[in-house]
Amino acid sequence: MSDQIKHECGIALIRLRKPLQYYIDKYGSPAYVSNRLYVLMQKQINRGQDGAGVANIKINTKPGTRYISRYRSIEPQAVNFIFDKIQKKYKKAKKLGGDQALHDADWLKENIAFTGEVWLGHLRYGTHGENSIETCHPFLKQNNWRSRNLVMAGNFNMTNVEELFGKLVELGQHPKEKTDTVTVMEKIGHFLDEENQRIFDKYKHQYSNEQITAVIEDELDVARILRRSCRDFDGGYAMAGLIGNGSSFVVRDPSGIRPAYYYADDEIVVVASEKPAIKSAFDIDFKQIKEIQPGNALVINKDGNFAEHEIMPAREKKSCSFERIYFSRGTDPDIYRERKLLGKALIPQILQAIDFDLKNTVFSYIPNTAETAFLGMIEGLEDYLSAKRREVLLEGKPHLEDLEELLNFRPRVEKLVSKDVKLRTFITNDSDRDAMVANVYDTTYEVVRSGIDTLVVIDDSIVRGTTLEKSILTTLDKLEPKRIVIVSSAPQIRFPDCYGIDMSKMKEFIAFRATIALLKEKGMESLMNDVYEQANSGEVLDINYVKGLYEPFTDQEISDKIAEIITSENIKAEVKVIYQTVDNLHKACPNHLGDWYFTGDFPTPGGMRVVNRAFVNYMEGKTIRAY
């Protein structure tokens, strides 16, 4: 994606189902599980590079023994930094007790941190706010009773933080922050405390307090805690938690917006945000990896038994389609296939844009994540050429080309754009800064015929258009083509996201700016005021009034205006912009229909309220996030 956006974080959870000694004996090292978690997190590094964290819990430790360990980091290579520190713990064990200590699970659990049975890792992309160690997951809610301790990490954004904060206050709490992470943890922590108290009250006349502690740890109903906690949540979430007794869970939002997958056998249970990470870490078949269903929680009890439980009734599944277009790793076979289909679906629009002149067209892509869609696009061109040859040879249709030329013709494919270097824009003069930014991308010279060839370049998505305007178009125009066609494998981004992606302000979207420009050109500013009054009325807000801004125009009109906006006066070539259609997106990704940023059809009431508030903020000149 040429316009970099930060997005959904990554989670990784591992629960050992056998005693630690089993893994030391079988795999020859106490680092077996930490090494697997390291792979899980490195294979999801695409999901977060602002920070990372790891937490570990030991089960059934004696009083006086530390049983929760946690490292967090915002170092440039945070995952490596954390696991280097964990490895030092094993080196310390060898120094204290020799090789024998490294193979003694009981000694390790009593003396060395990060030797427990339950592990939780998190990769953070900070979509809003500061990037500090305090903002890194996992978060920890501590208590002197083991079964009241809670460790949490997640991939989520809540749209109703104010409401959730108010409910905590109504419960008598005094939260220290008004953030969704802290609010969610405190809410789950509250009902964890109540569950502890419920079991205590049930047995207080039968056992001593010390005995009841053990009973509570065995009887804790995690699914009940989550049902009571999550009923007020509005947002997209995949939240993972560890409880001090050794129980753990991953709960998913009822619309399935945020992803969560798991694999289990008689040795381990593992959960991650992406399937390829699980496959790489444990060398298993993709078919063995299951998806946690929307509205469900995978709960792993203290004894290692696990099951999926319904926490909230599932709504229509609206899994984030951006996971398929861009965010998730393309090594997932389903995602790879879907991205190729997205590229192939654009062929009719591309052929029209180039006037069907394949001889004088060069095809390329914006590296690196658009490469798979590019392969699909080329496949589509090959299919088109095969159909043309079939018409001529088998159906006898007339043609202008030489027959041998028709048989041998192949699309002209070149790598025209390469990302050269990240340049710091510390120069204060705007023209100098633009000149520097224009050199972020480099190009391949002398493969384009000046004034003759058309360039078709595909990108995953065009969000803000800034990089296109300031860098890519300038770079491509140096090749002196007749025409430049920029192709987006995603539809026009028209609305903000409030479920995890760093796209929250209306004015950042090139499609929105183009629509506003069209409204002003046609003297329709009154429509903006009408939508503002509706969105700011305080009446029923579970309607996306902002949709009305786009209704007067076709997709093509907006695309043409986008091309006009991103084409500076210095660009000599004609510029066209092509976007994917929503229908083709759904055909390519039929199981991931979350498309609210394209269509405005938000899957939760909170999403509708956010988009209206975002437009109100725009009209009032406020640059704050809308949730």
The pLDDT, as a whole number, for residue 158 is: 86
Give the integer Cα–Cα distance in Å for 300 and 297: 10
Residue 438 reports pLDDT greater than 90: no
pLDDT per position as a tens digit, 337-386? 999 999 999 999 999 999 999 999 999 998 777 999 999 999 999 999 99
The pLDDT, as a whole number, for residue 513 is: 97
Give the integer Cα–Cα distance in Å for 217 and 247: 9
Q: Count of alpha carbons within 13 Å of 231, Cβ hemisphere only?
A: 8
Other C-beta atoms closer than 10 Å to the C-beta of 63 total 8
Q: In what order do the strands lie in the sheet with 235-243?
A: 139-141, 150-158, 235-243, 248-252, 296-300, 306-310
What is the CATH architecture of 331-495+555-601? 3-Layer(aba) Sandwich (3.40)
**CA distances to 249, 263, 276 from 298, in Å:** 5, 11, 19
* 119-130 average pLDDT score: 79
DSSP-derived 3-state class of residue 593 = coil
Structure tokens at 202: 């049930």
Structure tokens at 461: 């998505």
- Domain boundary assignment for the chain: 10-317, 331-495+555-601
Structure tokens at 318: 């609206």
The pLDDT, as a whole number, for residue 165 is: 79
The pLDDT, as a whole number, for residue 428 is: 43
Give the integer Cα–Cα distance in Å for 82 and 122: 11
C-alpha dihedral (544, 550, 551, 557), degrees to nearest 10? -160
DSSP string, 474-536: HHHHTT--SEEEEEESS----S---SSSS---GGG-HHHHHHHHHHHHTT-HHHHHHHHHHHT
| 135: Cβ contacts below 8 Å, ≥ 6 apart | 51, 124, 126, 129, 181
pLDDT per position as a tens digit, 270-293? 999 999 999 999 999 999 999 999
Give the integer Cα–Cα distance in Å for 280 and 38: 11
Residue 429 reports pLDDT greater than 70: no
The pLDDT, as a whole number, for residue 464 is: 84
Give the integer Cα–Cα distance in Å for 288 and 334: 14
Helix (H) or strand (E) holding 405: helix 403-408
Largest CA distance in the chain: 96
The pLDDT, as a whole number, for residue 413 is: 94
The pLDDT, as a whole number, for residue 439 is: 57
Give the integer Cα–Cα distance in Å for 154 and 137: 8
Phi-psi region of 538 (alpha: psi -120 to 50; beta: other; left: phi over 0): left
Chain centroid, CA 85 distance in Å: 27
Categorize the per-residue pLDDT at 397 as very low, low, confident or very high, splitting at 50, 70 and 90: confident
Tell which wins on pLDDT, 5 or 89: 89
DSSP-derived 3-state class of residue 505 = coil
| 623: Cβ contacts below 8 Å, ≥ 6 apart | 505, 617
Give the integer Cα–Cα distance in Å for 90 and 31: 8
Place of tokens 């991931």: 592
C-alpha dihedral (277, 281, 285, 287), degrees to nearest 10? -40
DSSP string, 369-438: TTHHHHHHHHHHHHHHHHHHHHHHHTS----SS-HHHHHH---EE---EEE--PPP----SHHHHHHHHT
The pLDDT, as a whole number, for residue 425 is: 44
Q: Does CATH place domain 10-317 in 3.30.530.20?
A: no
Give the integer Cα–Cα distance in Å for 117 and 36: 13
The pLDDT, as a whole number, for residue 426 is: 41
Structure tokens at 106: 């009981």
C-alpha dihedral (615, 618, 622, 624), degrees to nearest 10? 50
**CA distances to 66, 159, 274, 567 from 154, in Å:** 24, 15, 14, 40
Instruction: Say if CB 456 and CB 363 are below 8 A apart.
Output: yes
Residue 475 reports pLDDT greater than 70: yes
What value does the mean pLDDT of the chain take?
90
Start-to-end Cα distance in the chain: 25
Instruction: Compute the chain's Rg from CA coordinates.
Output: 27
The pLDDT, as a whole number, for residue 7 is: 57
DSSP string, 52-85: EEEEEE-SSPPTTS--EEEEEE-STTHHHHHHHH
Structure tokens at 32: 């077996």
Give the integer Cα–Cα distance in Å for 614 and 325: 24
The pLDDT, as a whole number, for residue 420 is: 59
Give the integer Cα–Cα distance in Å for 141 and 68: 11
Beta bridge partners of 55: 70, 120
The pLDDT, as a whole number, for residue 201 is: 96
Instruction: Say if CB 558 and CB 518 are below 8 A apart.
Output: yes
Chain centroid, CA 328 distance in Å: 7
pLDDT per position as a tens digit, 231-250? 999 999 999 999 999 999 99
Other C-beta atoms closer than 10 Å to the C-beta of 552 total 13
Structure tokens at 426: 């510390």
Tell which wins on pLDDT, 471 or 521: 521
Give the integer Cα–Cα distance in Å for 135 and 138: 9
Q: Which amino acid makes up residue 169? A: V
DSSP string, 356-367: T--TTEEEEE-T
Give the integer Cα–Cα distance in Å for 233 and 297: 14
Other C-beta atoms closer than 10 Å to the C-beta of 595 total 22
Query: Crossing angle, helix 180-203 and helix 161-170, to 10 degrees?
Result: 30
Q: What angle do CA 621, 624, 627 make, to 5 degrees?
A: 125
The pLDDT, as a whole number, for residue 433 is: 45
pTM to 2 decimal places: 0.91
Place of tokens 């997640």: 154
Beta bridge partners of 578: 487
DSSP string, 549-570: GTTTS-HHHHHHHHHHHH--TT
pLDDT per position as a tens digit, 554-589? 999 999 999 999 999 999 999 999 999 999 999 999
Place of tokens 């496959």: 279
Give the integer Cα–Cα distance in Å for 71 and 73: 7
Categorize the per-residue pLDDT at 430 as very low, low, confident or very high, splitting at 50, 70 and 90: very low
pLDDT per position as a tens digit, 68-81? 999 999 998 999 99
Place of tokens 């009034």: 545
